[in-house]
Structure 1
């Protein structure tokens, strides 16, 4: 009897803490998902690379200049990431923490985290040479997180949170821009079609692994038009300032393969919602028509010349533009938080449509 009483008291306490911590959004009684779990690269990494022995970090100024208190957290932009803004849109905290942040503990575990690592990709050959976290390690870190969650709040609560959460993966740009197209060994081993198929095998394994951990909602974010990134134009379009269309065609064809993969594997995952989110079209429209969205500059990043600077090349000694809100890009590779806000709103609407559609779930 005493043991039953203790177990009951623990369960009641866990539920009480959960109701205390879950934030409320005006006009919304409860979050639309229990938690947000994100995997991928620098577009969604809020600082997991900070403790790693890598140069691919951004935990120094001028990164974070528009973050609360002007604090550089390891986010590769001037303020909040897409994932922070998505978390808020879903009715969760307005900052999605890094899973490796020492402050990520206690009640913060309840509403999710980013397990992403800047410069990571689908392929191990993209991540390992730079001493960042491959996708396999990101999933392993999720498993460790799940153990911590269960220890603190009980297995039933942990399983419920995971099963009602949205899992999102957003990666792949570094596989092409910083691996295939600059590494002669990779290009010597694979044609571009073979390399794309290799990445799809990694994506399939990711879906298999997180579904085994209890994921029931999995969003796969497609590639952006990475031929329009300032650094890629600088490096590859020697004759002008226009997007490097070869890269955009690779991104488009890979996105088509992701969508085909999702349709093919759906029967293997009954009860699991797996859906595609398009990043390409909205970002391309912003880049092609910046003034429509309130931007002035889409060719250069705000930091330095904006043509090549990123990571350690964008540092406290680098001059940055006075008003990042007028720029599509913060550095030569990553958008500003103002651009991320527009994309986050678009991805949020796509996610809502998928989650609420009776035809998308098996």
Structure 2
């Protein structure tokens, strides 16, 4: 716990595996990481459900804000008592802005179709459900500490959402049903609509400071290179262009809708440029391997494919990626350091207390 006066009352996170500290542990889903080698560099080598070798950006941000240095999962039974006052992550790995991102497919003779029988394989929390869980949390907070404390805590908190990569990498570009229904522009607009609804929902619940995290260059993820550009063995430029254009649309959207949320600060948090620079100039940051993750071959393994029987690299600090989809803790630090400091300095100037 940072001994400084916290810059915000609490931190509330929504989104996907980049900010899920273990909510999926408590869901009937195979999309988990609460087993070794995940958590290898976490205190005591404990696998917590974080999709990396140590701490997430959420933990680093929480510490910078003067809050506990480990942000809890909202579904964790231990998230109670005084812990309710400093926030939690409501995120769920494998989720996205679009509800369809968390629905698996099966393939029959007639082609791909949604499988209700296989829903338990994914069964993760889409963004709308995460907000519903926040509302339930708000009731708990008010019941234990009173409505005045609950309202003050929420109004002085930082809300953030990080998502979108799964919508493209694990939905649009592999799901023929989605591509048949939407052009890439239409799908981007669908996601922006969902993002707008999210902002409206948390604003209605009392949020006054909201950060929207942009997409990374997901075409450089090892899994995407393996699946879509194995012959050239380099970043999928089409995917990176989609990420870049979507980020531009987020910024344009926020500029347009800010007047609709009087009294609120809605900020964009860029991670694309720093992430891309790390991949293109790894030596500047002390990395040696950018093409594959530390776990297994590093080309496709993630979640249950990265398990206690999977060999890992000797030194994750040399790797940009922990598995084929998620960065190492060290990479998360570099991706987020400048942006997080911008966020904290902005909050200081606004004197949010």
**TM-score scaled by structure 2?**
0.92
Q: Shift of the alpha carbon at 1:45?
A: 0.3
Gaps of 5+ in 1: 1-22
1:350 Cα deviation (Å)? 2.6
Question: Counterpart of 1:65?
Answer: 40
Q: How does 1:30-41 map to 2 (within 5 A)?
A: 30-41=5-16
> Normalising to structure 1: TM-score of the pair?
0.90
Q: State the Cα deviation string for residues 238-291 of structure 1 (Å, max 9, x = none).
A: 322221100000000000000000000011111000010001001111111111
Match of 2:215 in 1: 223
- 1:335 maps to which residue? 327
Per-residue CA deviations over 1:22-62 (Å, capped at 9, x if unaligned) read: x443xx3x011111100000000000011211111101100
Matched-pair contact (CA < 8 Å) for 2:7–2:347: no
1:77 to 44, 52, 63: 52
What's the counterpart of residue 276 of structure 1?
268
- Report deviation, 1:349: 1.9
CA contact (8 A) 1:35 1:164 kept: yes
Which of 175, 178, 185 does residue 177 from structure 2 map onto? 185
The answer on whether the counterparts of 1:57 and 1:312 sit within 8 Å (CA) in structure 2 is: yes
Question: How many angstroms apart in 1 are the aligned matches of 2:16 and 2:230?
Answer: 27
Q: Measure how far apart 1:128 and its partner are.
A: 3.7
CA contact (8 A) 1:50 1:74 kept: yes
Superposition CA RMSD, Å = 1.3
For 1:330 and 1:285, the matched residues in 2 are separated by 18
Q: Distance in 1 between matches of 2:27 and 2:103?
A: 12
Q: Which portions of structure 1, spanning 4 or more consecutive aligned residues, are displaced by more than 6 angstroms? A: none
> Is the counterpart of residue 142 in structure 1 residue 134 in structure 2?
yes
SS of match in other structure, 2:153: helix
Return 5+ residue gaps in structure 2 as ranges: 105-121
Quote the offset at 1:354 in angstroms. Answer: 4.0
Q: Is the 8 A contact 1:120 1:132 kept in 2?
A: yes
1:196-215 matches, cutoff 5 A = 196-215=188-207
